[in-house]
Structure 1
Amino acid sequence: MLEEDMDDQWLQTVAMEFNIPITCYLTPFNSDPPHHFINKFRLRWFSPIVEVKLCGHATLAAAHTLFTSGLVDSDIIEFVTLSGILTAKRSSSVPKNGKGQESYYIELNLPNIPIAQFNSSEATMISNALGVDHATVIDIKTTAANDLLVVLPSARHVVDAQPKFETIQNCATRGIIITGIAPPESEFDFYSRFFYPKLGFNEDSVCGSGHCALARHWCNQLGKCDFVAYSASMRGGVVKVHVDEQEQRVLLQGKACTVMEGTLLL
């Protein structure tokens, strides 16, 4: 959605009305004539109840919309956000299913989110909130985004977790990310799920900002910088992850498709 004269209250009201995990708003950074094409936009993200500082999923959707709308004339878009300058890069398109439709990956250049050790004395309370046995919690870390990152023994433990969202909402942190190593026979490196009831939704389907913290953890654990990750929510999703250690950035790759278009009357 293009943000023009709408103030913050309207932006939040529309996001609440949509009632999806994140609604994002775009503003052309310089829309003055004679420039027809614009490759730089302001981008903001709102959950149903609050503005957030970073959202990968909605950034992917915003980039896809711009690439397919004809508003940009480049394979790279810059977004000015609360998390600094982010970029979205479109890969070379190729025919899909022989029907002439384009299929391409979009690579997002996002900030690395640092992680640190968490006070383990609260591990029992956290495991209860997640509906997992205390003994299965391998490690707990805190992220610079004020989330907890809870490491479980396996992908199966991630899938089987039964979170108690009311308890999670009462935790001091913003939300909880759980993760576990993927099965050796799978095509993935790790699984994860993301619980954010304080933001107005219980579980995110595929959380890009969460992977900005997960990338650092699994880079340290597995000793590599490239991953294929699986978000084990009900909808599920695959994310390609690369850690740029020199620039301290995380590159996420994914695909998007347009499922609905419409007009909002205010």
Structure 2
Amino acid sequence: MAKKLVKYVVVDAFTDTAFKGNPAAVCVLEEEKDDKWLQSVAAEFNVSQTAYLTSLNEVNEPTKTNPRFGLRWFTPVNEVDLCGHATLGAAHFLFANGLVKTDIVEFSTRSGILTAKRVPEAKASNSQDDEPTGYSIELDFPVLQVGTTNFTDIPTISKSLNGASAVEINETSKGDLFDPVCGSAHCALTPYWSKKLGKCEFVALQASPRGGVLNLRLDEEKQRVFLRGKAVAVMEGSLLV
């Protein structure tokens, strides 16, 4: 019997321009796949993150307001606990293809229940029409705690700093925080800069070669970070295995 094709899309996250931001592969699973297969596919895509979406049974329960999906993230070498740009890519896929009828979707993940909200954007004030011109997506993520680290505990600082001196070094308990435009890293950066600058809202520019922009808001009481950005699909197809 022929195997079912697995639909995938590659989405550039935290950008509205193709070939910018951070690319993530998003695969939609209609049946269970073992971890070895998931890891092999992620290695085959060889992008920073591959996200796997599965529809959960509870989305059909009348008590559920928002649709819920299972979501897992894999780098080419291992599974991770949290990924911002691949979550944005997964939400973009669901919203852009009309697969959900609400403006909020929930994801069941290794970091708990995460939500993605579609936020319409109105036209400029001088426009004759108030209809939205598009939307961004806001992710509701947990704060990642950071701790100070002694300089002696850190390997030689990368030459990518171009000779700039380091005033302070911090580390998180999470690994796999990488460029370009890693939303999970901003779950640690947002509370850090909130304490430094005394404010809770930021616009972050990821100064990587591909670039990327995030709007950030910290809810200090609930220890949540809201990351808002855009995404654009650049590729779609089906896995044959």
TM-score (norm 2): 0.78
Q: For 1:152-163, what aligned pairs fall within 5 Å after superposition? A: none
Counterpart code for 1:142: E
Within 1, Cα distance between the matches of 2:190 and 2:60? 42
Within 1, Cα distance between the matches of 2:159 and 2:223? 31
Q: How many angstroms does 1:113 deviate by?
A: 0.3
User: Quick check: which one's helix share is greater?
Assistant: 1
Number of aligned pairs? 208
8 A Cα contact 1:41 1:79, kept in partner: yes
Q: Does 1:140 align with 2:169?
A: yes
1:76 — aligned with what? Answer: 104
Within 2, Cα distance between the matches of 1:17 and 1:34? 36
Q: How many angstroms does 1:95 deviate by?
A: 6.7
Moved over 3 A (4+): 31-35, 93-98, 129-135
1:126 — aligned with what? Answer: 156
8 A Cα contact 1:242 1:252, kept in partner: yes
Q: How many angstroms does 1:210 deviate by?
A: 0.4
Counterpart code for 1:82: R
C-alpha distance 133-90 of structure 1, shift in aligned 2 (>3 A): closer
Q: 1:2 aligns with which of 20, 23, 28?
A: 28
Q: Helix, strand or coil: the match of 2:115?
A: strand
Q: Helix, strand or coil: the match of 1:24?
A: strand
1:244 — aligned with what? Answer: 219
* Structure 1 unmatched ranges of 5 or more: 146-173, 176-193, 196-203
Counterpart code for 1:143: T
Q: Does 1:104 align with 2:135?
A: yes
2:116 — aligned with what? Answer: 88
Q: How many angstroms does 1:68 deviate by?
A: 1.4
8 A Cα contact 1:29 1:38, kept in partner: no
Identity over the aligned pairs, expressed in percent? 48
TM-score (norm 1): 0.71
Q: How many angstroms does 1:130 deviate by?
A: 4.3
Q: Helix, strand or coil: the match of 1:107?
A: strand
Q: Deviations over 1:26-61 (max 9, x none)?
A: 0001178799x9710000001111111111001001
Q: How many angstroms does 1:101 deviate by?
A: 9.2
Q: Helix, strand or coil: the match of 1:70?
A: coil
Q: How many angstroms does 1:122 deviate by?
A: 3.4
Q: How many angstroms does 1:142 deviate by?
A: 1.6
8 A Cα contact 2:66 2:104, kept in partner: no
Within 1, Cα distance between the matches of 2:113 and 2:100? 17
C-alpha distance 101-249 of structure 1, shift in aligned 2 (>3 A): closer
Q: 1:51 aligns with which of 79, 82, 92?
A: 79
C-alpha distance 133-23 of structure 1, shift in aligned 2 (>3 A): closer
8 A Cα contact 1:108 1:251, kept in partner: yes
Root-mean-square deviation (Å) = 2.7
8 A Cα contact 1:12 1:49, kept in partner: yes
Q: For 1:210-221, what aligned pairs fall within 5 Å after superposition? A: 210-221=185-196
